[in-house]
Chain A
Amino acid sequence: MYRHRPGSTIRTQLRPRTLVKRALPWVVPILLLVGWQWASSAGILPSRFLPAPRAVLRSFFELSASGELWLHVRVSTMRALAGFAVGGGLGLLLGLFTGSLHWAETLLDTTIQMVRNIPPLALIPLVILWFGIDESAKLFLVALGVFFPVYVNTFHGIRSVDRGLLEMGRTYGLSGWPLYREIILPGALPSILVGVRFSLGLMWVILIVAETISARSGIGYMTMNAREFMQTDVMVVGILLYAILGKLADLLAKGLERYWLRWNPAYQAAR
């Protein structure tokens, strides 16, 4: 009996269309995968060049069954998170500091902007010299790389807080921490989150390079080790793992945005 209500008719009309819309983005990846598998089975794509998707899958299950995979994933994730926490935390603190206090900006900002121009990866030779191929070397590189996007966006976010809202807050008796909590921080948050999202991407890039160059564990190590034994399937597993972890980090950042910026229609619409 509900079927005759106009609302439900519209819904039944829409449903197949939304299904097609959902499925459409996956058509090309699936075709690529099928083509890849076919080319490998037909011998067009030699396995020492690129393994068949099925071989990659098999190798994934073997590695995860033996626990080796999870060990490397855990090591890499810990490195990434530790570096992010240190670099991002410092970037946030310093950004808040220079953004809020004019004398702090005068004192520090020029220096930070100068150091910002050095790509963190250019420091690798020095870093190896300083820290060897220790954990601290990777931590340092990730933290350094992550620091600047968070710092710059925090600084900018604080500076671009709506002046009208600041005026309003002051005339309503807010100052000090309450003013910060009610107006400055929430006003800077969209910009800060842009920095966080950007630096989460950067975090993996830097870690990949650092682990590939020097490490005794982690996904990068696993991949480079596999290269010596020509285990192309393990190499592809490692590469895909990076992709998945990167995607997860991005989803996390998006989730944070959607939760913290839920007051903002721009983020509600971006579903």
Chain B
Amino acid sequence: MTLPITCNSKEIVAEKKRCSRGVSVGIKSVSIAFGGRTVLENFDIEIAAGEFVAIVGRSGCGKSTLLRSVVGLETPQSGTIALGEVAGSKGKPDVRVMFQDSRLLPWRRILPNVMLGLEPALIPQARKVLAQVGLAERANDWPATLSGGQRQRVALARALVHDPNLLLLDEPLGSLDALTRIEMQQLIKDVWRSRGFTAMLVTHDVAEAVSLADRVILIEGGRVALDELVNIPRPRTRGSARFAALEERILGRVLQRRALVEEQWQTISGRTEGRW
């Protein structure tokens, strides 16, 4: 396939089959504040069914809050969050979250943790995903005996083994080394392509966002500061010029605000030298 795979435009018809599991997400002028401090303000995004959206932004800008509000764990003070209908089914869309902290049940061994909320008949499936995250031989261990990165991979396996309509991943690869990270990115990509759910991925790694997503959204000051379509055909190679250019542009936008603040500070304090 040479066309960029995005499900938010006309390709949606051609891609209908692949996108059939996913649901659309409509977030309209959502505002969320904690104790008077606004985190999201009149926040809008539309995500098409089957689309893969990456969300980037500085620490504390409200990425986790956004995901939590999509699953109903935070109630917006105003605005609406609506999930679309599941094609061919009347039921409520199935949403799964992988939280920023792994949240494994300490009293269940690894395999039962991955199996949480699944029929026992799906054990082979769970074992397969566990093998895909490279932890097949730890199936019978307690979570307490795993390293932080291993626990994160178990949580990823737990999220991927389900067949949701919408999958929310909150920095799923945050504490992995570069190599494992690339492996896990490939896994997420493969699972997404074969199942066609809608995905929202929070990451602080712009390269990761560009390599995985159809769209990269930057949150800043409680709003969407950048909404960039990734028009690079898959499979994407990190070395390619288009990849690097896009990554550069997004990174530049992330840093721009910081540069602005520094500039203002320079003029206020009247210091022209001694930049930090």
| Most B-side CB within 10 Å, residue of A165, A168, A187, A261 | A168
Q: Give chain B residues whose Cβ lies under 8 Å from the Cβ of A262.
A: 142
CB < 8 Å: which of A164, A167, A182, A261 contacts B116? A182
Q: What bracket does the count of chain B residues touching chain A fall in?
A: 20 to 34
* Binding stretch for chain B, among A147-155, A171-179, A211-219: A171-179
CB < 8 Å: which of B95, B103, B109 contacts A168? B103
State in angstroms the CA–CA spacing of A261 and B144 once bound together. Answer: 12
Main secondary structure of the interface of B (DSSP, over half): loop
Q: Is B23 close to A, CB under 8 A?
A: no
Q: Give chain B residues whose Cβ lies under 8 Å from the Cβ of A182.
A: 105, 108, 116
6 nearest A-B residue pairs (beta carbon)? A172-B117, A186-B107, A168-B103, A263-B107, A173-B117, A263-B142
State in angstroms the CA–CA spacing of A187 and B104 once bound together. Answer: 12
Q: Is A45 close to B, CB under 8 A?
A: no
User: A86-101: contact bitstring with B at CB < 8 Å (1 yes, 0 no)?
Assistant: 0000000000000000
Q: Give chain A residues whose Cβ lies under 8 Å from the Cβ of B105.
A: 165, 182-183, 186
CB < 8 Å: which of A171, A187, A261 contacts B71? A171
**Contact residues, B72-105 vs A (CB, 8 A):** 73, 94-97, 99, 101, 103, 105
State in angstroms the CA–CA spacing of A78 and B95 once bound together. Answer: 53
| Most A-side CB within 10 Å, residue of B96, B101, B107 | B107
Q: Is B106 close to A, CB under 8 A?
A: yes
CB < 8 Å: which of A169, A171, A265 contacts B144? A265
Smallest CB-CB separation from A262: which chain B residue?
B142
Task: With both chains docked as a complex, state the minimum distance between the C-beta of B148 and any C-beta of chain A, in angstroms.
Answer: 15
Given contacts A172-B96, A182-B116, A265-B144, contact A165 B108 (CB under 8 A): no
Task: With both chains docked as a complex, state the minimum distance between the C-beta of A101 and any C-beta of chain B, in angstroms.
Answer: 22
Q: Give chain B residues whose Cβ lies under 8 Å from the Cβ of A172.
A: 96, 116-117, 158, 162
Q: Is A9 close to B, CB under 8 A?
A: no
Q: Give chain A residues whose Cβ lies under 8 Å from the Cβ of B106.
A: 263-264
**Contact residues, B100-131 vs A (CB, 8 A):** 101, 103, 105-109, 116-117
Q: Give chain B residues whose Cβ lies under 8 Å from the Cβ of A265.
A: 144-145
Q: Give chain B residues whose Cβ lies under 8 Å from the Cβ of A168.
A: 97, 99, 103
State in angstroms the CA–CA spacing of A171 and B70 once bound together. Answer: 11
Task: With both chains docked as a complex, state the minimum distance between the C-beta of B195 and any C-beta of chain A, in angstroms.
Answer: 17
State in angstroms the CA–CA spacing of A219 and B175 once bound together. Answer: 61
State in angstroms the CA–CA spacing of A264 and B145 once bound together. Answer: 10
State in angstroms the CA–CA spacing of A64 and B96 once bound together. Answer: 64
A174–B117 CB distance below 8 A: yes
Q: Give chain B residues whose Cβ lies under 8 Å from the Cβ of A178.
A: 117
A167–B73 CB distance below 8 A: yes
State in angstroms the CA–CA spacing of A178 and B105 once bound together. Answer: 14
